[in-house]
Amino acid sequence: MLHELSHPFANGMPHHPMVPPFQHLFSRRLGDVIRPGGLSVASDVLIAPLHVGTHIDAFSHVGDAAALAGERPAGESLPPLLTRAVVLDCRPAVAAGTHEIGPTELAEAADRAGAVPGAGDVALLATGWERHWGDPVAYAGPVADPPGLSVAGARHLADLGVVAVGADTPALEPASTELGVHRLLLEERRVYIVENMRLSSLLAAGEHDVLFLALPLRIVGATASPLRCVAVTGSGAAACGELLRAAATG
């Protein structure tokens, strides 16, 4: 079975207060111009920050200002991801009042899942924040305060060897960590970050060990990319993920 893990891109969808909104505009609609023979052609335009909607952060998204020495390095092209993913359901911890998800909460979620992310895998954190997606202010407004991964939690996942960490929140980490998770994963450990994911379908199906496919746009010099990502479940999906991981790390 195929599970969509990306939110639809649409006008009015949530966006971080520091990021301009997504805009989908029509430069020409059907019927505006009628060609010989009665044919009409529509065309549209996207004005979209790369850090909006379901997207993947490149390593160049953050950097130590003191180490730049006046340079302004460009971004990089982002690779496709095709590997095993483990869904870590952290909703019980969040419901109990945890705001920063650390190693203990991650281990408990892995125990419930019966699966631990390893080298070459993707770790997907479900916090339940996705339920606010239909309310842009509640989801990512100026006073929104979503839970997220702590720096210790990020280090724990990086030590397991994951290639990416995704979550159903606007920024993977809470405001209290002051982008420490981004710095550790992207700059120090070279682990990609995927934000604004749609994980409810996998949770509803009770799927925790899946085959993960994510395709960034091939934008030269980018610090992020909008992302179409899916999970494949069912007979053979997890085994295929294991083989892909072994090939990537072997």
Q: What is the pLDDT of residues 93-127, one digit of tens each?
A: 999 999 999 999 999 999 999 999 999 999 999 99
Q: Is residue 209 part of a domain?
A: yes
Q: Is residue 90 part of a domain?
A: yes
Distances (CA, A) of 183 to 28, 44, 123, 186, 195: 43, 36, 18, 6, 15
Domain count, the chain: 1
Q: What is the CATH number of the domain that holds 89?
A: 3.50.30.50
The two counts, helices (H) then strands (E), for the chain are: 8, 12
pLDDT digits (tens, 9 = 90+) for 144-188: 999 999 999 999 999 999 999 999 999 999 999 999 999 999 999
CA distance 186 to 158: 10
Cα atoms found within 13 Å of the Cα of residue 209, Cβ hemisphere only: 18
Q: What pTM was estimated for this model as a whole?
A: 0.91
Enclosing domain of residue 64: 2-6+50-249
Three-class DSSP category at 216: strand
Q: Is residue 21 part of a domain?
A: no
CA distance 92 to 161: 25
Q: Is residue 156 part of a domain?
A: yes
Output 132-135 pairs: Cβ under 8 A, ≥24 positions apart: 132/14, 133/7, 133/13, 133/14, 133/198
Closest Cα partner for 113 from 238, 246, 240?
238
Q: Is residue 165 part of a domain?
A: yes
Cβ–Cβ < 8 Å for 57, 43: no
